[in-house]
Amino acid sequence: MEFFLSQLQGGVVLGALYALIALGYTMVYGIIQLINFAHGEIFMVGAFGALAAYTWGALDGTTTLVALPLMLLGAMAASVSVAVITERFAYRPLRNAPRLAPLITAIGISVLLQELVRLFFPINTGDSVAFGAKSDQPFPKLIAGERLELGVIDISRVDATLIVVALVSMVGLVLFVNRSRTGRAMQATAQDPDTARLMGINVNRIIVTAFVLGAMLAAVAGIMHGLKYGNVGFRIGFIAGLKAFTAAVLGGIGNIGGAVVGGFFLGIVEAMAVTYMPGQLGGGAWKDVWAFVVLILVLVLRPQGLLGEKVADRA
Amino acid sequence: MSGTGRERDDANSASVSHTSESAVLTSDAGSATEQHARELTWTQRLDALLVAALGRAGWAVAVVGALLTVVATMLPWTYTAEYPEDLTVYFYPAGPQLYVLVFAVTGLVLLATERIPPLTTLVRRLLPHGVGGTVRALSLGCFVLALAVVVFITGTLGGLVNVDPGGYLAVLGGLIFSAGARTLTSDTVTAIRGRLPDAVEIAVVAVAMLVLLFLIVAGLDIDEQQSFAAYVIFVGFLGLAATRAGAVSWVSGVAGRHYGVTVTAAFLVAFLFPFTQGESNRYLNVMANVLIFAVVAMGLNIVIGLAGLLDLGYIAFLGVGAYVGALLSGSQFSTIDVVPPFPVVLLAGAFAAALFGVVIGVPSIRTRGDYLAIVTLGFGEIFRLTMNNLNGSSGPDVTNGPNGIPDIPHLEFFGWNFGENLNLFGFELGYFANYYFIELVLLAFVVLVFVRSNNSRVGRAWVAIREDETAAAAMGVNTFRLKVSAFVLGASLAGMAGVLKAHLSTSVEPTQFQFLESAFLVAAIVLGGMGTVTGVLLGAVVLRLLPEKLRFLDDKRLLIFGLALIVIMRFRPEGIIPSRRRAAEFHEDEIDEALAHGLSAPGPAGGKA
């Protein structure tokens, strides 16, 4: 039982990470029906933004409480600016093009962002700059310390922080979308862009807002990913992005609550598959395979997702 | 095209195809921003600015710019002879200087005809669209070439100090030339409809093909990367100028009328290529790899271009074929100790891939559009991960996991050993010629399958599905069966290519089949022109050959690839040689506008659907 609980807990942590990224997919999709295939790369850029803030901001001796907010700032600055630039210069001109065009553009952006980080990420080597993060870069493990024991739960501090941060971000997002003027404008745009425009909503601005919010959450996910695993590489975005997309579809793409549910569901499925799949099919080597199997099953059998949302035109 | 535009022009929706995808895409957010869509593009703004600034002096400015450029080519561009071509001599243009000279002089001649009345009428007859567009292309070519060479000199020799005034003058001349040329009127190029006697037209096709062969061989012969890059720019702008002059659309019109001759000539030229290489294996190897890529791209073209199913995991089918080929090759690392004759292996590879195609296709087909793309991507990744895991520790030992199956022997085929040099018509050819020729046969087969199915009942049904699946189903098309058949046909062709690839690259590893390779294939199709034969072949060659030659880009190739995808989608989403239908689809609003003004729709240059 305890073993099961610890697996479940691992799944929940993973799920929180997926959910944070999935929210970005879902918000953009909800408003302009675009699968921002490069969103995983936004997450990766966020992680590297945090790393850059740490290594170049001389945060090495400071306490965690000083370093983390500054790193978060760096992560968000990187993610948000990349998201805004791609929206403005790559996606916006294609808004009326056949659907294939933005998808291929997104693949291009994805490759481009990976390569930019791989070739040009400035590494602080002490007295000089080395360009290019060709191999995985060490990420400061700022949240160390003893594991927390809360009743039956035995959890590392990083994992606990991740869950708390994810939940806070999600609650913040829900409050923003439901309570703020801009958030309600987003909902209106998602429901009917033409009418929203007639009501005086600046639809372009709302679309940018969706990209920005998604990028901010991805930045949070990026920094937490770095803290949890202790390193970041330019490839982390591809698989993470695909899994987060799975999570978004799983919950019903376009549905904010769905992305959260889908994220946790996928995380738990993955953790369980690794442990409980029989024989050689278990284990880490197959974990991505199971995530893809879930992706395919959901897309094929229940494209409207677990919670459902209007996607009649999709499947 | 957005909802509002659609309603405005419902009448011409018959001539302008709406795919089911584009119909879905008419998401309403699009129309919300449509009022911005008709803003002037930056080139239009630039032109307006230049016309305002130069007024009627544009022609003279262009002439002055061209003359300056000609003078510049007579001057040294750098003072050391370390640059691959000797650009240090007065009155002796070499390499890129020659290219610039050709552009500038041709531009001058064309400009002159504008002001010499008897010539003007003559040129008007040959170039019904005027010389404006052609001169623009040539002048821009001058400028870009000169700028590129200056950049190369700076890069190669270390610093701007190595550039002599001649180089700067060439850049300046090119700039003035371009500025002047932009004020010339440039009419839209439409297809020239003139017809010549059949014998002459066939000769035109033959000459065009030989020119193509010459251009490729000449390009391959250039070893220095700077020179090669300059050559590519030269050929690119030459092509652009020819397009603007209407020559390209005329030749492709001629080629379209003599389709059989053209295809035969193309394959004949491809057949001749190894004879230009002698015993050298260097580019035969490269071209053999290019051909494999072209075969796979053509196979995918059936799936994407005809049936409209965006398959992002297509490389897996090549992988299935390659693993079948490797396992049955007799390699000492193969886990299967059976070595059937090659034709059997080829069929086995095709069959295995087709089977895999059914396994992937049947569930995937239930989804549409983006979801289909992602499901196939998922299957592709599952294939790669599985090949990685069948290594004995996380699965049964079949594929040696990440190490793959190396040491695959050369093909043996009715006593014909592919590892030995080939003697043909008294010529001794490097042994890669064996692979090259057999791949050419395979490519011919795939092209034949593509063309025949395109013109068949099945092909028309595929196109119907691509354009509007719901309507096709309503018309009685069995969409499910036809989509699966497109998938399986594409898969089996890739499977055959895979068997050859295993022998050609002598080792098969999971990393050869990662997602990026599928992206490359899709890019080749999109770049060339989806659903066309010429376009996709061209796209495949460009995408595989250029990186081979531009080695100085080294690890920046992927960066450029990513950037190129974005730029192409932004500025020419229909590809280099678009099918008429796709071009119409991507330029609906322009066509609508033309119709609104009572003009006939500007037909895209050349290309067949």
Q: What is the pLDDT of residues B436-456, one digit of tens each?
A: 888 898 998 998 888 888 888
Longest dimension (CA), chain A: 60
The structure tokens listed for A105 are 């553009």
Cα separation, B122 vs B113, whole angstroms: 9
- Region of poorest pLDDT, from A155-169, A223-237, B83-97: B83-97
Mean pLDDT of B464-472: 87
**Residues B475-492: pLDDT tens digits?**
888 888 999 999 899 999
Mean pLDDT of A146-165: 84
Contacts of A295 in chain B (CB under 8 A): 374-375, 378
Contact B370 A107 (CB under 8 A): no
**Residues B2-44: pLDDT tens digits?**
333 333 333 333 333 333 333 333 333 444 344 444 556 677 7
Q: How confident is the model at residue B591 (pLDDT cuts 50, 70, 90)?
A: low
Contacts of A189 in chain B (CB under 8 A): 29, 32
Per-residue burial over B341-350, b = 16 or more CB atoms within 10 Å of its CB, e = otherwise? ebeebbbbbb
Which pLDDT does position B597 carry in this prediction?
A: 60
Question: What ranges do the domains of chain A cover?
Answer: 10-132+158-301
Which pLDDT does position B582 carry in this prediction?
A: 62
For the cut 90, the answer to whether the pLDDT of residue B192 exceeds it is no
For the cut 80, the answer to whether the pLDDT of residue B82 exceeds it is no
For the cut 80, the answer to whether the pLDDT of residue A290 exceeds it is yes
Which pLDDT does position A49 carry in this prediction?
A: 93
Mean pLDDT of A166-177: 92
Contact B562 A112 (CB under 8 A): yes
Contacts of A250 in chain B (CB under 8 A): none
Average pLDDT over chain A, rounded to an integer: 86
Which pLDDT does position A218 carry in this prediction?
A: 94
Which pLDDT does position A208 carry in this prediction?
A: 93
A–B CB contacts, 8 A cutoff, strictly below: 187
Q: How confident is the model at residue A311 (pLDDT cuts 50, 70, 90)?
A: very low
Contacts of A197 in chain B (CB under 8 A): 32
Cα separation, B244 vs B232, whole angstroms: 18
Contacts of B388 in chain A (CB under 8 A): 285
**Residues A53-99: pLDDT tens digits?**
988 887 777 777 788 888 999 999 999 999 999 998 888 888 877 77
Mean pLDDT of A110-127: 87
Identify which has the larger pLDDT, B492 or B261.
Answer: B492
Cα separation, B112 vs A48, whole angstroms: 58
Q: What is the ipTM of this complex?
A: 0.86
- Region of poorest pLDDT, from B156-165, B277-286, B538-547: B156-165
Identify which has the larger pLDDT, A86 or A282.
Answer: A86
Backbone angles phi, psi at B520, to 5 degrees: -60, -45
Task: Select the CATH number that applies to the domain covering A10-132+158-301 from these four: 1.10.287, 3.40.1130, 1.25.40, 1.10.3470.
Answer: 1.10.3470
Q: Helices B58-73 and B42-54: crossing angle, nearest 10°?
A: 100
Cα separation, A179 vs B200, whole angstroms: 75
Q: How confident is the model at residue A298 (pLDDT cuts 50, 70, 90)?
A: confident
Cα separation, B345 vs B5, whole angstroms: 54
Contact B370 A35 (CB under 8 A): yes
State the nearest Cα–Cα gap between A289 and chain B, in angstroms.
Answer: 5
* Residue pair B374/A245 in contact by the 8 Å Cβ criterion: yes
Identify which has the larger pLDDT, B4 or B378.
Answer: B378
Cα separation, B547 vs B312, whole angstroms: 22
Contact B522 A109 (CB under 8 A): no
* Residue pair A78/A49 in contact by the 8 Å Cβ criterion: yes
For the cut 60, the answer to whether the pLDDT of residue B550 exceeds it is yes
* Residue pair A133/A118 in contact by the 8 Å Cβ criterion: yes
Interface of A with B in 116-175 (CB under 8 A): 116, 118-119
Q: How confident is the model at residue B584 (pLDDT cuts 50, 70, 90)?
A: low
Which pLDDT does position B607 carry in this prediction?
A: 37
Which pLDDT does position B119 carry in this prediction?
A: 73
Residue of chain B with shortest Cα separation from A192: B28
Which pLDDT does position A214 carry in this prediction?
A: 93
Which pLDDT does position B193 carry in this prediction?
A: 58
Mean pLDDT of B304-325: 90
Residue of chain A with shortest Cα separation from B572: A101
For B330-333, the CB contacts below 8 A with 24+ separation are B330/B409, B331/B405, B331/B406, B331/B407, B331/B408, B331/B409, B332/B407, B333/B400, B333/B403, B333/B405, B333/B406, B333/B407
For the cut 60, the answer to whether the pLDDT of residue A310 exceeds it is no
Mean pLDDT of B582-596: 62
Contact A193 B32 (CB under 8 A): yes
**Residues B52-77: pLDDT tens digits?**
777 777 778 888 888 888 877 777 77
Identify which has the larger pLDDT, A87 or A33.
Answer: A87
Mean pLDDT of B575-602: 61
Cα separation, B401 vs A285, whole angstroms: 11
Which pLDDT does position B230 carry in this prediction?
A: 83
Average pLDDT over chain B, rounded to an integer: 77
State the nearest Cα–Cα gap between B82 and chain A, in angstroms.
Answer: 29
For the cut 80, the answer to whether the pLDDT of residue B424 exceeds it is no
* A175: number of Cβ within 10 Å: 11
For the cut 50, the answer to whether the pLDDT of residue A169 exceeds it is yes
Identify which has the larger pLDDT, B377 or B331.
Answer: B377
- Region of poorest pLDDT, from A112-126, B116-130, B295-309, B349-363: B116-130
Contact A96 B371 (CB under 8 A): no
The structure tokens listed for B409 are 């022997």
Which pLDDT does position B254 carry in this prediction?
A: 80
What is the SS3 assignment for B510-577? HHHHCHHHHHHHHHHHHHHCCCCHHHHHHHHHHHHHHHHHCHHHHHHHHHHHHHHHHHHHHHCCCCCC
Contact B394 A115 (CB under 8 A): no
Backbone angles phi, psi at B549, to 5 degrees: -80, -35
Chain B contact for A104 (CB, 8 A cutoff): yes
Classified as helix, coil or strand, B78 is: strand
* Residue pair A36/A105 in contact by the 8 Å Cβ criterion: no
- Of the ranges A124-128, A309-313, B62-66, B294-298, which is most confident? B294-298
For the cut 60, the answer to whether the pLDDT of residue B188 exceeds it is no
Q: Could you please report the per-residue DSSP string of A215-263?
A: HHHHHHHHHHHHHHHSEE-TTHHHHHHHHHHHHHHHH-TT-HHHHHHHH
The structure tokens listed for B437 are 């020729």
For the cut 80, the answer to whether the pLDDT of residue B392 exceeds it is no
The structure tokens listed for A282 are 């278990």
Contact B374 A35 (CB under 8 A): yes
For the cut 80, the answer to whether the pLDDT of residue B589 exceeds it is no
DSSP B161: G
Which pLDDT does position A133 carry in this prediction?
A: 81
Cα separation, A68 vs A86, whole angstroms: 27
Longest dimension (CA), chain B: 83
- Region of poorest pLDDT, from A193-207, B398-412, B529-543: B398-412
Backbone angles phi, psi at A287, to 5 degrees: -65, -40
The structure tokens listed for A10 are 């691992």
Percentage of residues in chain A having pLDDT higher than 70 = 96
Contact A299 B589 (CB under 8 A): no
Residue written as tokens 């995983």?
Answer: A40
For the cut 80, the answer to whether the pLDDT of residue A28 exceeds it is yes
State the nearest Cα–Cα gap between A275 and chain B, in angstroms.
Answer: 13
Classified as helix, coil or strand, B185 is: coil
Which pLDDT does position B125 carry in this prediction?
A: 67
Which pLDDT does position B496 carry in this prediction?
A: 92
